[in-house]
């Protein structure tokens, strides 16, 4: 689960990371009031969306008067901001963050991520911040510094100081960096985070380190024990299909194709999408109904897939172990009748109670297309889609 910049800053500030003073605004008038409240002669107005690249997309601006703050805010509210990290529809802007402008002498990059290879938290840092980490890795790979943290020991001060030295920091900046690194590590560890990123972490004209931007994402599977984090969820920034599916325990990711997929098991789902591509089609989604899928759960899966208006064919591919083919078959028949389906549905069943499942499909009298293998199912789904397009 992602959160907004201002939320990440509030969290990190509680752990000891220095951040600029700022205020949240839900209207242009409120944005102007925030600028007046903060004081000074220049302010940075930032669109709050779950995406990087806001500046290049016109979502961040330095303003030098209260009137300019209000005028820029008025152009952002309600706008669908399209960045290089969003799809063509972009993300809706419904809140802004206004903070006092900072005197920037140097920009650094700092990130905490899970390194699955070493099974440890890894710090990634660079003396050149202000750009995406992918761009940094491509343009100046030698600037990246990596350090893993032993979970039994935690982040030690000598590690933090070593990283500060590698980034070229001096004097009091080293102590400041140690404080920031340890604070980020505690926030990551204590809140079940998946990523903590500060970009840029700036050195100001007075030599102080300040986090000008921050991102945090969290392990969705751990939110049940982090209610204070779950409350920060902003559904307006999520694909409604994915959030609705998640609420019902379904793993769903929307794609750009037109063959809807209802499958059990992430591995089988990936293999099915690959087979659809190999057959010349394009999957519309990744959807894993999970184990022990009841007929009602199958119906919810159909509702989720049908929420995508691009879907022209639905492919149900079940290899039952924990699941039962007869339950899935009942769900397919129930969905077809309850939802008034008119789209072609290809069904491939294998595994536990497969004979009973096939009997239910055959006895339904519905125009369901059956398949014996994964390859057969993908070929039939693609062929059906091509016939509809002809």
For residue 165, what pLDDT is reported?
94
Residue 128 binned pLDDT confidence (cut-offs 50, 70, 90): confident
Residue 374, CB-side half-sphere exposure with 13 Å CA sphere: 19
Q: Which residues of 98-137 are buried (b: 16+ CB within 10 A; e: fewer)?
A: bbbebeeebbbbbbbbeeeeeeebbbbbbbbbbbbbeebe
**Choosing from 6, 197, 242, 252, which is the catalytic residue?**
197
Contact 380, 347 (CB under 8 A): no
Q: Give the annotated binding-site residues for ATP.
A: 46, 53-55, 99, 102, 107
CA atoms within a 13 Å half-sphere pointing along the CA-CB vector of 162: 11
Identify the CA nearest to 371 among candidates 336, 323, 319.
Answer: 319
Q: What is the pLDDT of residues 14-44, one digit of tens each?
A: 999 999 999 999 999 999 999 999 999 999 9
Binding site, annotated residues? 46, 53-55, 99, 102, 107, 199, 213, 264
Tokens 């109670």 locate to 353
CATH for 239-389, among 3.90.660.10, 3.30.70.1050, 3.40.50.261, 3.30.365.10?
A: 3.40.50.261
| pLDDT of residue 130 exceeding 80 | no
Residue of 376 and 220 predicted with greater confidence:
376
The strand ranges marked E within 66-221 are 80-81, 91-92, 96-100, 104-115, 120-126, 144-149, 193-204, 209-211, 214-218
Examine the pLDDT at 259 and tell me if it is beyond 90. yes
pLDDT at position 181, please?
A: 97
Architecture of domain 103-238: 2-Layer Sandwich (3.30)
Strands 209-211 and 193-204 come out as antiparallel
Average pLDDT over residues 165-192: 95
pLDDT of residue 275: 95
Task: Evaluate the CA torsion angle 260, 266, 270, 276 in order and state its sign.
Answer: negative
What pLDDT sits at residue 330? 93
109 is catalytic: yes
Give alpha helix (H) positions in 102-235: 133-139, 157-166, 172-190, 227-230
For residue 248, pLDDT beyond 70? no
**Mean pLDDT across the chain, nearest whole number?**
91
Q: If one looks up domain 20-101 in CATH, what number appears?
A: 3.30.1490.20
Provide the annotated binding site for Mg(2+).
199, 213
Pairing mode, if any, of strands 60-63 and 43-47?
Answer: antiparallel
> Other CB atoms closer than 10 Å to residue 363's CB: what's the count?
10
d(C-alpha 50, C-alpha 90), whole Å: 10
* pLDDT of 236 above 90: no
List 109, 188, 252, 336, catalytic entry? 109
Which pLDDT value is given to residue 103? Answer: 93
- 33 in active site: no
Instruction: Please report the pLDDT score of residue 239 as a whole number.
Output: 74
pLDDT at 148: 94
Is pLDDT above 90 for 244? no
Average pLDDT (143-159) is: 92
Mean pLDDT across the stretch 202-225?
94
Question: Residue 140 pLDDT more than 90?
Answer: no
What's the pLDDT at 271?
94
Q: Any residues with CB less than 8 A from the CB of 143 and at least 6 apart, and which?
A: 126, 127, 128, 136
* Chain centre distance of CA 321: 30
Of 82, 116, 90, 84, nearest to 195 by C-alpha is 116
pLDDT score for 292: 67
- The whole-model pTM stands at 0.79
Q: What is the pLDDT of residues 95-127, one digit of tens each?
A: 999 999 999 999 999 999 999 999 999 999 998
Backbone angles phi, psi at 271, to 5 degrees: -65, -40
Show me where the domains of the chain are located. Answer: 20-101, 103-238, 239-389
pLDDT tops 90 at residue 56: no
């Amino acid at each position: 689960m992602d959160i907004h910049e201002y939320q990440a800053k509030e969290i990190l500030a509680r752990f000891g990371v220095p951040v600029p003073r700022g205020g949240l605004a839900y209207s242009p008038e409120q944005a102007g009031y925030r600028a007046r409240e903060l004081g000074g002669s220049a302010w940075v107005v930032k669109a709050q969306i779950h995406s990087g690249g806001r500046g290049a997309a016109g979502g961040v601006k330095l303003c030098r008067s209260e009137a300019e703050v209000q005028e820029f805010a008025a152009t952002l509210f309600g706008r669908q901001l399209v960045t290089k990290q969003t799809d063509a529809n972009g993300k809706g802007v419904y809140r802004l963050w206004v903070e006092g402008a900072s005197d920037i002498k140097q920009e650094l990059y700092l990130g905490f991520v899970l390194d699955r290879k070493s099974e440890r938290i890894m710090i990634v840092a660079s003396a050149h911040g202000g750009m995406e980490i992918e761009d940094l890795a491509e343009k100046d790979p030698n600037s990246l510094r990596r350090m893993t943290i032993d979970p039994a020991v935690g982040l030690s001060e000598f590690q933090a100081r070593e990283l500060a030295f590698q980034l070229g920091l001096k004097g009091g900046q080293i102590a400041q960096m140690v404080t920031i690194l340890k604070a980020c590590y505690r926030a990551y560890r204590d809140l079940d985070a998946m990523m903590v990123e500060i970009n840029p972490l700036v050195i100001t004209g007075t030599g102080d380190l300040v986090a000008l931007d921050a991102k945090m994402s969290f392990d969705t599977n751990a939110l049940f024990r982090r209610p204070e984090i779950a409350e920060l969820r902003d559904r307006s920034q999520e694909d409604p299909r994915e959030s609705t599916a998640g609420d019902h325990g379904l793993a769903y990711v929307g794609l750009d194709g037109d063959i809807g997929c209802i499958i059990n098991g992430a591995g089988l789902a990936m293999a099915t999408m690959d087979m659809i591509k190999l057959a010349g089609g394009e999957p519309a989604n990744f959807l894993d109904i999970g184990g022990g899928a009841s007929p009602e759960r199958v119906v919810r899966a159909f509702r989720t897939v049908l929420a995508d208006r691009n879907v022209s064919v639905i492919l149900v591919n079940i290899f039952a172990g924990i699941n039962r083919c007869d339950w899935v078959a009942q769900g397919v028949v129930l969905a077809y009748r309850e939802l008034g389906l008119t789209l072609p549905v290809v069904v491939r069943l294998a595994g536990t109670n497969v004979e009973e499942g096939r009997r239910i499909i055959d006895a339904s009298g519905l125009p369901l297309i059956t398949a014996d293998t994964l390859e057969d199912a993908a070929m039939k789904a693609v062929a059906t889609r091509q016939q509809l397009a002809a």
